Amino acid sequence: MAYLFDHTRAQRIQAFTDSGNVAEQRALEKAGFEREGVLRQAQWRAGGWHDQILYSTLRP
C-alpha cells in the first residue's frame, strides 16, 4: 500500500470479501484495512446471493 500511496494520487484502496471468508478478513485487517460495512446479497454465486464485506484504507 505504501508504494501506491507514495507513487500515485490514490486516496483510497478498497477490497471486498465474502462474509464467510474469515481468513481473508483477518488478512485485510492485519494489512491495515478497516471494515466499513456489509453489502447484503451483493454477489450471485453458486446459485444463491451472498453478502460481501467492504474494507478500505486511506492515505495516511
pLDDT in tens, the chain (60 residues): 899 999 999 999 999 999 999 999 999 999 999 999 999 999 999 999 999 999 999 998
CA-CA-CA-CA torsion for 25, 23, 59, 3, nearest 10 degrees?
-160
**Domains within the chain, CATH numbers bracketed:** 2-58 (3.40.630.30)
Q: Please name the residue ranges forming H helices in the chain.
A: 2-7, 22-30
The pLDDT, as a whole number, for residue 1 is 85
Supply the pTM of this predicted model: 0.88
The pLDDT, as a whole number, for residue 57 is 97
The pLDDT, as a whole number, for residue 25 is 98
